[in-house]
Structures are given as structure tokens and as C-alpha cells.
Amino acid sequence: MDTRIRVGVGGWTYEPWRDNFFPRGLPHSRELHHASRQLTAIEVNGTYYSTMKRATFAKWRDETPEGFVFTLKANRFATNRKVLATAGESIERFVASGIAELQDKLGAVLWQFMETKKFDPADFEAFLKLLPREAGGRPLRHVLDVRNPTFANEQYLDLARRHGCATVFTDSEKFPNIPDTESDLAYLRLMRSEASCPTGYPVAQLDQWAQGCRAWVAKGSRREVFCFFINGAKERAPAAAMELIRRLPSQA
């Protein structure tokens, strides 16, 4: 598939995926190896709750094939606070934890905010100014997952663009859907998979998402898509991701 379109799921350790997505009897230690050869990206949720070690990132890098990428969800202590301008130490601690060990397999860093966090232009810009442009000599790409309706406006988007940040687009009915047609990166978090549907999403909807991904990257050589099946019936997420991958063009 086109390497500018990455498709995956959130994490790889999930009990219902055993004997479902994972072959029966597969050792837990081999789950990332298997998942990374069926998908083209994984969004890591564990980094949101815990501080990983440098050796852990290196291990993930070495277990996955060339071209595979991770998105790391930044630690919650950086984003779950009343005053975002005070997040500098938490941001530095997360970035210095060893994320650069992923090397070319670090696709993006996702900064997720609580749904109660409202848009305060001055404080939010102060936060964005704290985000480092690189780690270990490698450029960082930042994605903002803002979950309060107060962010759904051009003032927020202009601010995010000025600081080189992409914005999550979700199909969730719970969170605001904020399209940014000017960004080079479309970051999709799809959250409406259904347990009754073997492919998570109906085939017609997957066809529509595939068409949208193709249209997005066709508009410019720097355009990319990261698409993650995250919520809803999580047990169907890998099937949905693999079905979408099948609908995308092979790399020329």
C-alpha cells in the first residue's frame, strides 16, 4: 500500500484479540511482531499512563518491520492540568524518556486533552510553544486530540497550524469533529466499530474511508494519513484496519 497512508489500531495487548486477531497459542511476547506484520501503524496508549524505559522503545523498534510506525500518546501529566502553560517539566520528561529510540518508526506524538478542557487561546498557545521540534536530532510531529466543542473554530485551527500541529479528526458522536483541510497530515481516530459486523465497519463505509484516504494524499506529495480504529467494539478493530488496508493502493 501507499506508505503515505498508515492504518492500525490502539495498542496490541488486548485479551479478546487472542485466538481472534492473534493465532491460537501465540506467545504474548510475539504479539507485537505479529500485529506489525498485519498492520502498518499502532497508536500506543501505554505511554499515556506510564513512563516507558529507553530500552522498551528500542525493543519495539527492533521487533517491527521496516516502514512500520508508532504514534505515542504523550503522558497525561502533560495535558490533564488546569494551566497548560505549566506543563514544561512533564513534556520534557516524556520526550527525554527515550522516544527517539524509535528512530524512523516514530510517526507522531499525540497530545490528548480531557473533554472538560476548554479552549483558552493564550494558555493553549503557551502550551504549544513548549512542544519540542526534535528529539535526539530527529524531528517530531505533533498531533492534538482536543475533545471540547470550544475548539471547533478557526482561531484554534490557525493557532495549531502556526505551531506546526495536526488535529485529530474523529467520527465519534461524543467528541467534536474538527477537519483541517490545510494540514499535510490527516490523523483519523475511528471509534464506531460494531460487534455485530465482522469487519467492524460495513464494507460500504470502509470503501468511503479508503476513497477519502486516497483523495487526501493525491492532493500533494507531502500529504499523509494516519488512520486508527480505536473504540467502539474494540475486538473488531484489527479486522476493520486490515480490511481498510486491502482497499488501499499498493506502493508504486
Domains of the chain: 5-246 (3.20.20.410)
What is the Cα–Cα distance from 97 to 100, expressed in whole angstroms?
9
What is the Cα–Cα distance from 1 to 49, expressed in whole angstroms?
32
Q: Which residues pair with 138 in a beta bridge?
A: 135
DSSP structure class, residue 131: S
The helix-helix angle for 203-218 and 237-246 (nearest 10°) equals 50
Q: What are phi and psi of 105, to 5 degrees?
A: -90, 5
What does the buried/exposed string (b/e) look like for 140-151 if buried means 16 or more CB atoms within 10 Å of the residue's CB? bbbbbbbbeeeb
Q: Which residues make Cβ contacts (< 8 Å) with residue 158, sequence separation at least 6?
A: none
pLDDT band at 31 (very low <50, low <70, confident <90, very high): very high
Residue 129 has pLDDT above 60, yes or no: yes
- The pLDDT score that the predictor gives to residue 125 is 98
pLDDT digits over 50-69, tens only? Answer: 999 999 999 999 999 999 99
- Supply 47's cell numbers: 505511554
pTM, to two decimals:
0.96
Residue 251 has pLDDT above 80, yes or no: no
